[in-house]
Amino acid sequence: MDWRRSTIGAAIALPVIALLAFGMTRDPRDIPSPLPGRMAPDFVLASFTSPTGSTPARADSVHLAAMRGDVVVVNVWASWCLACRDEHPVLREIGRRYAGTDVHFLGVLYNDNVESGRRWISEMGGQSYPALEDPGARTAIDYGVYGVPETFFVGRDGRVAYKHTGPITEGVLIAKIEELRKAHPVAVAPADAAGGTAR
Amino acid sequence: MIMRSMLALLIAALAPRPGVAQEPADAPPALSSARDSAIDRDTRALASQLRCPVCQGLSIEDSPSELSQQMRGLVRDQLRAGKSPDDVKRYFVSKYGEWILLSPPAHGVNTLIYALPLVALASGAALIAIVVRRWTRVANTEEDGAPRGRETSDEITRV
């Protein structure tokens, strides 16, 4: 009788414990993004810095689709974001290293005003790539951004290959860029066409 | 001459203005305000189903955060552009995943969320039924047999 009771008890308790244990291994703040693998939402955003630093330039706009065939790193940031301060030196230096190559860096300002953004960039020692204004956070919402910093890697095929949440490190940044650089646009084109109709 | 021009001015001033004459043309704005209130109503209904990404368990309708305000604006703009509430919901799901919906749709693994409470309720009811039946059976056999109950109560009073 006792063994039967304990078997029933274990049969009820074990799945519950297993479920809770599985929950403990997961980060509740980590929200899975449906974006990787899909076409990167296109945008045309006005740049509020010159490519070399913080001096206001004429309102150049950046069109993502014009960069098709190249690797694009889209970093979403804000001047009020503390973690953005940690990653900025990495982005600035690696961005400078890849300047003029087939890798483009773009910084999208999130829920912030341009003046604060501009001041922050000059405080942080400049930015080697364009800082873009995103009125109404429309582009950020299009990318499913829920906090800053977030960094999106767009491959040569125009698809989001990877999304990084939180401050990015030099190792991850270079590894992802080089991985995407290796992918040849011609080689991925058929997959692109097939995947385009999938969803 | 002056008198005549002054009279002309007076007539012009008293004459009904084109704007006043067009008063019935105010009807289209009334119609558009009816449409606006319908859009407002749909926006509120939809916003209360979408989760605020920067809050804990709040909808974008209830959250005062900047991102929620912008999302509400986007919901309104998409509805105004002629998208159906389902289209707007699909847009947000395509960006944030089903996580963005405060009540997840009942398919796949999500079915568990809806099924488990019912299963728990049913098994609880079954458990109570079994235990109660067992208790009543024990009580009946005790009444039929020796007065064990009195013995135990005697023991209790002794203790």
B25 is a domain residue: no
Whole-number Å distance between alpha carbons of B80 and B45: 15
Phi-psi region of B134 (alpha: psi -120 to 50; beta: other; left: phi over 0): alpha
Q: B80 with B133, same domain?
A: no
B6 is a domain residue: no
Structure tokens at B102: 């405060």
Q: Which residues pair with A72 in a beta bridge?
A: A104, A154
Q: B111 with B71, same domain?
A: no
Each residue of A134-193: pLDDT tens digit?
999 999 999 999 889 999 999 999 999 999 999 999 999 999 999 999 986 544 444 444
pLDDT at A17: 93
Could you tell me where the DSSP H helices lie in B2-110?
A: 2-14, 18-21, 27-47, 66-80, 85-96
- Tell me whether residues B95 and A31 touch, CB distance under 8 A: no
Q: B111 with B157, same domain?
A: yes
Which single residue is written with the structure tokens 């491959």? Answer: A155
CATH number at residue B47: 1.10.8.640
Q: Give the residue numbers spanning the domain of B83.
A: 33-104
- Tell me whether residues A143 and B54 touch, CB distance under 8 A: no
| Interface predicted TM-score (ipTM) | 0.78
pLDDT at B156: 52
What 3-state DSSP class applies to B100?
A: helix
B37 is a domain residue: yes
Cα-Cα-Cα-Cα dihedral of B60, B61, B62, B63, to 10°?
40
Q: B125 with B153, same domain?
A: yes
Q: How far away is chain B from the Cα of A41, in angstroms, using its nearest Cα? A: 10
pLDDT at A198: 34
Q: Which of B73, B95, B97 sits opposite A136 (nearest CB)?
A: B73
Q: B116 with B75, same domain?
A: no
CATH architecture of A44-196: 3-Layer(aba) Sandwich (3.40)
Whole-number Å distance between alpha carbons of A151 and A148: 9
> How many domains are contained in chain B?
2
B23 is a domain residue: no
Query: Do strands A103-109 and A71-77 pair parallel, antiparallel, or not at all (unpaired)?
Result: parallel
Q: B92 with B126, same domain?
A: no
Domain boundary, last residue among B78, B104, B130: B104
Please list every residue in chain B whose beta carbon sits closer than 8 Å to the beta carbon of residue A31.
53, 96-97, 99
pLDDT at A19: 87
Contact assessment for residue A77 and residue A149, using Cβ atoms and an 8 Å cutoff: yes
Q: What is the pTM of this model?
A: 0.72
Whole-number Å distance between alpha carbons of A185 and A191: 10
Whole-number Å distance between alpha carbons of B69 and B62: 10
Whole-number Å distance between alpha carbons of A41 and B58: 27
Whole-number Å distance between alpha carbons of A11 and A53: 64
B1 is a domain residue: no
More confident residue, A199 or B86: B86
Each residue of B107-136: pLDDT tens digit?
888 888 888 899 999 999 999 999 999 999
Residue A111 touches chain B, beta carbons under 8 Å: yes
Contact assessment for residue A191 and residue A157, using Cβ atoms and an 8 Å cutoff: yes
- Tell me whether residues B74 and A141 touch, CB distance under 8 A: yes
Q: How far away is chain B from the Cα of A133, in angstroms, using its nearest Cα? A: 15
Q: B72 with B52, same domain?
A: yes
Structure tokens at A20: 């809770």
Q: B58 with B93, same domain?
A: yes
Each residue of B1-59: pLDDT tens digit?
455 655 555 454 444 444 443 434 444 666 778 888 889 999 999 999 999 998 888 99
Each residue of A67-124: pLDDT tens digit?
999 999 999 999 999 999 999 999 999 999 999 999 999 999 999 999 999 999 999 9
